[in-house]
Amino acid sequence: MTQKYWPGTIWAIIILLLTGFPGSYFPKIISFWDWISPDKIVHLGIFAVFTFLLLWGYRTQYYESDKRLLFNTLAFLTGSSFGALTEILQTTVFIGRHGSLYDFFADCVGSMIGIVFFALLYRKKPSKDNP
């Protein structure tokens, strides 16, 4: 694995560790109206960072390609799939944790936010004169 993939890989490991902590460490969400809670903000944030780091690992190809939509789609599918995996693991493997469809939605929205931030920051390839 090359060095450009380490940030995304390390962040994925951090996500798995955080989602594995017992549920008593985090506030409980009872209904959809509790959606804008610290828990959901955390999900948005960690998956925005994860998806941003996935795209960052491919930034050279992203600049030099007309396939940005493909890269964005793959990053979203990877982030969303990883979000689904963490919710499944919380339901079936991690002790004291419970998966949530609302958490999964927050993961998906976070992935979309990461793509938007990346696209805004890296919309143009830097020139040799202005890195």
User: Is the pTM here over 0.75, yes or no?
Assistant: no
Closest alpha carbon to 111 in 71, 88, 69, 77: 77
Query: Taking 80 as the threshold, does the pLDDT of residue 44 lie above it?
Result: yes
Residue predicted with more confidence, 31 or 52: 52
Q: What is the pLDDT of residues 17-43, one digit of tens each?
A: 777 666 555 555 555 555 567 778 888
Cα–Cα–Cα angle for 69, 75, 81, nearest 5°?
130
Residue predicted with more confidence, 76 or 128: 76
